[in-house]
Amino acid sequence: MKLNDKVAIITGGGSGLGRQSSQLFASEGARVAVVDIDPERAAGTVKLVQEQGGTAIDIVADVSDKAQVVAAVARTVEEFGKLDIMFANAGVVSRGGVPSVAGGEQVAFEDLTEDDWHHVLGVNLSGVVYSAQAAVPAMKENGGGVILATSSAASLAAYHSIALYSATKAGVNGLVRGLSLDLGKHGIRVNAIAPTHGMSPNFLAPAGTPVVGQSYEEVAGPWNPAVSPIPLKLNRPPSLLDNARAALFLVSDDSAYVSGVTLPTTDGGTLARVGMWFEEDLNPESGS
């Protein structure tokens, strides 16, 4: 098993990629601390892990509060004796983000409030900083460890209506590069994944919405790769598990010499496109 005898914290572990990763990491031998702001969701993930024969505990914490993150790490070390992996996965979209998907209202950039900014900044970037800071002392005790953050394709390409979110995720990428230099001497690797597809509808749904254990593409109905905007054409839609498997790679010894990297996952060539659409055959008379 890839994570045998490892101890992992997964923030935002109550739903979506965090829940899927908790189950996958546990199936690979890790003992998992599921951290989430929603106690019912965290407990639900722990139940799923235990039903599959794994070991997990639930911890309620708001990652935008440093003291709560430090307490979550302390509880994990108290319960399992060490910490090998910090997966700083918790994230929120900025208010009014992707309204056509979320069914919410459109909010102009200039109408976003200071509270809106502090909220998305606190969870998406400060939360990763606090998670890394809290993890480092325990990892030094181990002689090393892995910090993984969830960034986003929105840190690499523009998306409508989520400039604040994009800014925080771009900050994650910069943080990962900087920490890979600062922490490498302690045997600590630092990376991020940047999902493009295969993410949970819960991310855009109101708090308290039942957890959907599938990706946007899976819940959209019958899969037709011919009409998918993803350049790579496969006979199934991208899933949460596709992203979780990339996370597993980056926290396991399979990536022992990978650090300072933001890996676009479930991209399928989407980020390779230019900003304009062209006809496939630009010059029909050329015969090319």
d(C-alpha 65, C-alpha 84), whole Å: 22
- Please tell me whether residue 84 adopts helix, strand or coil conformation: coil
User: Which of 147, 234, 165, 146 minimizes the C-alpha distance to 197?
Assistant: 234
* Contact assessment for residue 165 and residue 124, using Cβ atoms and an 8 Å cutoff: yes
CB distance 92 to 120 below 8 Å:
yes
Place of tokens 């990629």: 17
Asked if 145 contacts 187 with a C-beta cutoff of 8 angstroms, the reply is yes
90 Cα distance to chain centroid: 7
CA distances from 283 to 70, 278, 286, 287 (A): 61, 11, 6, 8
130, 159, 165, 257: the catalytic one is 165
In angstroms, the CA 18 to CA 80 distance is 20
Q: Is 159 a catalytic residue?
A: no
Strand ranges in 212-268 using DSSP code E only, listed in sequence order: 262-265
Q: Are 266 and 245 in contact (CB under 8 A)?
A: no
Q: Show which residues are catalytic.
A: 165
